[in-house]
């Protein structure tokens, strides 16, 4: 009964084999072929007759080999009862080479024993050939390229992508870690999205606006992005991912190519900078410039051109350049305009017509840029240039004059002072002899005027040294009230003689960081002037005011005063209010100019107010801290 049942079951099974189109065969524990399906015979192994292979071992009957295939999993399927798979290359007896994917499925009896194994063969030769071809293409390509399958596993990773990413194929092939080459965190690369047939929204999620559909390859996308992780300073990559499809059009993976465009990007950046620089120069150069299109219209002008022409940029743009040329010069400029000799820039002078019809003499040079079909006209305002040249010549002359003056002063000082020595010396010798009263008076006069001359010469020298920047400041803390009192006291014989009243208002404790000798000279000069120019019985007030940062001093007298028109000039060198021959005071007019320089050396300023007949007020300030 059991046997018959089995037979029945077997018959049933074999009958199925006879009719099914699948390419399957059945083997027993000894690898002997028990049966083959119709499909197996018809389609797959047409040269084999069923009777000739039944009972043979599969390696002989099917593949025509002398011994069991290397790594045959069949015995393990019998033992473990688990399905297995073989994917390998076979050279068939008919001389064809095939790649087969064979699935080994165990068939159990009622006791759970494996009694036979079904081999389900699929011919994957075409797929394998395609894969090999792809590998050949990818590996042979100098473009960094990698391929993933639809399970996101990397199948190809070529040498070029190795050197771009620094990742060896052994490290990544077979894994789905393509992201580590580009990103710090796990995320899909473009090939992953392609392999998933992801909708556009996904691309947007991951690439924002940087991606676009490829115009060359259907279903492919490309993008440009910066990868800060890559190659030390980061890289700009242009990457394109395209789907890989099998013969039925099913997506089986994706291929992504990469292009390192860092240098190009940097060059673009540099170009952008250069353009910006050009624009800045164009705008800010002190030369009127305009760009002229092929049709003779002006396409842009710079600020200087606006100034020269009187037109705003908006007004000037679109005008023909000929509108700016006086009719009589048009032919000349036209010749220059069309002269395209390479050796030298064509240039010529002409009368430039501005907005109001105003004429300016200019010189123009015209550079033709054939590649961009434009001309750059740069203009030179000759009137302005001439004026500037004249001014600079005058400046030069003045400087020479000033140098001459300085040299003269220096020389004069030495030449004037040398004869003074014997005058003073011999006058003093003369006094050693017996002299009458009259003679003694004469000698005193000689000495007095020699002394005055010495003072003048010394002041001249001082100014020459100030001009030469040879004045050194010896800084110390100077008590102002002390100086005021000392100076006033030292002139007591003078103001006592003239019965003048001097009041001082100088709070004690005001200290200025400055050059004591020069500050003394400032006070001496102003107070002495006040005494000199104030009549008998007049009064002089000296006020010192502490203003925090600086002090302000006022020396006021009730003297003859200074006419208003002279006030701005009194601190100038050699200036004297009274130039009449009958003047009472003797001076070369150098005193106040030295005072002014000394005040300036102390970071202060000096000025005066006056009412002729009523008196003058001299003010000056001194910084309390050194400058």
Partner 1 sequence: MRKKRVLIVEDAPYMREMMVEMLNHAKDRYEVVGFATNGKEGVEKYRELKPDLVTMDLVMEEMDGIQAIKKIKQEDPNALILVITAMDTPENRNMAMEAGADGYLWKPFTINNLLDVLERMFGKDKSGW
Stretch that binds partner 1, among 92-100, 156-164, 179-187, 418-426 (CB under 8 A): 418-426
Interaction of residue 468 with partner 1, rule CB under 8 A: no
Instruction: Return the residue of 55, 318, 422, 568 that touches partner 1, per CB under 8 A.
Output: 422
Closer residue to partner 1, CB minimum distance, 72 or 461: 461
Are the beta carbons of 624 and 512 closer than 8 angstroms?
yes
Stretch that binds partner 1, among 118-126, 425-433, 562-570, 582-590 (CB under 8 A): 425-433
DSSP 507: -
Interaction of residue 84 with partner 1, rule CB under 8 A: no
Stretch that binds partner 1, among 39-47, 220-228, 374-382, 422-430 (CB under 8 A): 422-430
Interaction of residue 122 with partner 1, rule CB under 8 A: no
CB of 303 to partner 1, least distance (A): 52
Rounded to whole angstroms, the Cα distance separating 286 from 302 reads: 9
Closer residue to partner 1, CB minimum distance, 105 or 461: 461
DSSP 27: E
Interaction of residue 97 with partner 1, rule CB under 8 A: no
Three-state secondary structure string covering 136-198: HHHHHCCCCEEEEECCCCEEEECHHHHHHHCCCHHHHCCCCCHHHHCCCCCCCCHHHHHHCCC
CB of 429 to partner 1, least distance (A): 6
598 strand-pairing partners: none
Interaction of residue 412 with partner 1, rule CB under 8 A: no
Rounded to whole angstroms, the Cα distance separating 67 from 57 reads: 9
Stretch that binds partner 1, among 166-174, 417-425, 524-532, 584-592 (CB under 8 A): 417-425
Counting residues that bind partner 1 (by CB under 8 A) gives 19
Closer residue to partner 1, CB minimum distance, 214 or 524: 524
Rounded to whole angstroms, the Cα distance separating 270 from 258 reads: 23
Stretch that binds partner 1, among 98-106, 398-406, 426-434, 549-557 (CB under 8 A): 426-434
**Residues 279-308 within binding reach of partner 1 (CB under 8 A):** none
Closer residue to partner 1, CB minimum distance, 247 or 474: 474
List Cα–Cα distances, 282 to 308, 319, 367, 497, 595, in angstroms. 15, 19, 14, 75, 50
CB of 347 to partner 1, least distance (A): 56
For 519, the token pair is 């500050």
Concatenating the DSSP letter of every residue in 74-85 gives: HHHHHHH---EE
Are the beta carbons of 180 and 203 closer than 8 angstroms?
no
Interaction of residue 432 with partner 1, rule CB under 8 A: yes
Closer residue to partner 1, CB minimum distance, 425 or 537: 425
Interaction of residue 12 with partner 1, rule CB under 8 A: no
Interaction of residue 425 with partner 1, rule CB under 8 A: yes
Interaction of residue 494 with partner 1, rule CB under 8 A: no
Interaction of residue 166 with partner 1, rule CB under 8 A: no
Strand, coil or helix: what is 242? strand
Interaction of residue 582 with partner 1, rule CB under 8 A: no
Strand, coil or helix: what is 305? helix
Question: What are phi and psi for residue 375, nearest 5 degrees?
Answer: -125, 145
Instruction: Return the residue of 142, 247, 418, 579 that touches partner 1, per CB under 8 A.
Output: 418
| Contact residues for 616 (Cβ-Cβ < 8 A; gap 6+) | 530, 533, 556, 557, 559, 561, 562, 608, 609, 610
DSSP 377: E
Instruction: Return the residue of 91, 299, 307, 421 that touches partner 1, per CB under 8 A.
Output: 421
Interaction of residue 450 with partner 1, rule CB under 8 A: yes
Closer residue to partner 1, CB minimum distance, 234 or 422: 422
Instruction: Return the residue of 279, 373, 414, 583 that touches partner 1, per CB under 8 A.
Output: 414
CB of 430 to partner 1, least distance (A): 10
- Sign of the CA dihedral with 354 first, then 381, 301, and 350 last: positive
Interaction of residue 428 with partner 1, rule CB under 8 A: yes
Closer residue to partner 1, CB minimum distance, 24 or 457: 457
Burial 411-441 (b: 16+ CB within 10 A, else e): eebeeeeeeeeeebeebeeeeeeeeeeeeee
Give the distance from CA 93 to its chain's centroid.
75
Strand, coil or helix: what is 556? strand
Interaction of residue 423 with partner 1, rule CB under 8 A: yes
Interaction of residue 472 with partner 1, rule CB under 8 A: yes
Instruction: Return the residue of 92, 198, 427, 466 that touches partner 1, per CB under 8 A.
Output: 427
Burial 465-483 (b: 16+ CB within 10 A, else e): bbbeeeeeeeeeebbbbeb
Are the beta carbons of 524 and 487 closer than 8 angstroms?
yes
Interaction of residue 261 with partner 1, rule CB under 8 A: no
Interaction of residue 424 with partner 1, rule CB under 8 A: yes
Rounded to whole angstroms, the Cα distance separating 259 from 147 reads: 15
Stretch that binds partner 1, among 34-42, 263-271, 416-424, 503-511 (CB under 8 A): 416-424
Report CA Rg, the chain. 55
Residues near partner 1, by CB under 8 A: 414, 417-418, 420-429, 432, 450, 454, 465, 472, 474
């Amino acid at each position: 009964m059991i046997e018959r049942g089995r037979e029945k079951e077997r018959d049933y099974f074999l009958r199925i084999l006879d009719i099914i189109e699948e390419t399957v065969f059945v083997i027993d524990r000894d690898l002997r072929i028990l049966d083959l399906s119709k499909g197996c015979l018809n389609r797959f192994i047409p040269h084999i007759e069923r009777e000739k292979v039944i009972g043979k071992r599969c390696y002989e009957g099917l593949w025509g080999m002398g011994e069991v295939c290397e790594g045959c999993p069949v015995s393990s399927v019998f033992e473990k009862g688990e399905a297995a798979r073989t994917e390998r290359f076979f050279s068939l007896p008919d001389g064809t080479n095939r790649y087969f994917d064979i699935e080994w499925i165990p068939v159990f009896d009622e006791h759970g024993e494996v009694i036979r194994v079904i081999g389900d063969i699929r011919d994957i030769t075409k797929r394998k050939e395609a894969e090999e071809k792809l590998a050949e293409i990818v590996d042979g390509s100098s473009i960094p390229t990698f391929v993933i399958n639809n399970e996101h596993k990397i199948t190809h990773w070529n040498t070029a992508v190795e050197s771009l990413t620094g990742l060896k194929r052994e490290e990544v092939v077979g894994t789905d870690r393509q992201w580590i080459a580009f990103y710090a965190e796990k995320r899909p690369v473009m090939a992953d999205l392609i392999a998933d047939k992801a909708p556009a929204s996904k691309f947007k999620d991951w690439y924002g606006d940087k991606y676009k559909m490829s115009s060359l390859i259907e279903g492919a996308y490309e993008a440009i992005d910066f990868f800060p992780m890559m190659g030390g300073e980061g890289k700009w990559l242009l990457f394109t991912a395209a789907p890989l499809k099998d013969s039925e059009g099913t997506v089986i993976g994706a291929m992504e190519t990469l292009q390192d465009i860092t240098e190009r990007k940097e060059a673009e950046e540099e170009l952008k900078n250069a353009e910006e620089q050009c624009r800045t120069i164009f705008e800010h150069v002190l030369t009127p410039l305009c760009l002229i299109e092929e049709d003779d219209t002006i396409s842009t002008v710079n600020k200087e051109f606006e100034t020269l022409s009187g037109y705003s940029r908006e007004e000037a743009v679109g005008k023909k350049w000929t509108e700016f040329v006086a009719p009589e010069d048009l032919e000349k400029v036209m010749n220059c305009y069309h002269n395209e000799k390479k050796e030298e820039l064509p240039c010529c002078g002409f009368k430039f017509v501005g907005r109001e019809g105003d004429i300016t003499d200019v010189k123009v040079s015209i550079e033709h840029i054939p590649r961009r079909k434009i001309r750059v006209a740069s203009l030179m305002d000759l009137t302005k240039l001439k004026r500037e040249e004249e001014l600079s010549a005058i400046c030069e002359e003045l400087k020479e004059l000033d140098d001459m003056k300085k040299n003269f002063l220096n020389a004069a000082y030495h030449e004037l002072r040398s004869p003074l020595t014997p005058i003073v010396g011999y006058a003093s010798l003369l006094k050693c002899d017996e002299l009458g009263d009259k003679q003694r008076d004469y000698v005193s006069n000689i000495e007095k005027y020699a002394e005055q001359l010495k003072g003048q010469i010394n002041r001249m020298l001082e100014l020459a040294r100030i001009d030469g920047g040879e004045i050194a400041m010896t800084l110390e803390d100077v008590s102002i009230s002390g100086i005021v009192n000392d100076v006033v006291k030292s002139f007591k014989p003078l103001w006592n003689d003239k019965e003048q009243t001097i009041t001082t208002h100088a709070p004690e404790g005001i200290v200025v960081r400055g050059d004591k000798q020069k500050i003394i000279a400032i006070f001496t000069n102003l107070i002495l002037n006040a005494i000199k120019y104030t009549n008998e019985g007049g009064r002089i007030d000296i006020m010192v005011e502490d203003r925090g940062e600086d002090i302000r001093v006022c020396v006021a007298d009730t003297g003859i005063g200074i006419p208003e028109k002279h006030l701005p000039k009194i601190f100038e060198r050699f200036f004297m209010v009274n130039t009449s021959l009958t003047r009472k005071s003797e001076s070369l007019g150098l005193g106040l100019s030295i005072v002014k320089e000394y005040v300036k050396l102390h970071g202060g300023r000096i000025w005066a107010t006056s009412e002729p007949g009523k008196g003058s007020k001299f003010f000056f300030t001194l910084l309390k801290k050194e400058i």
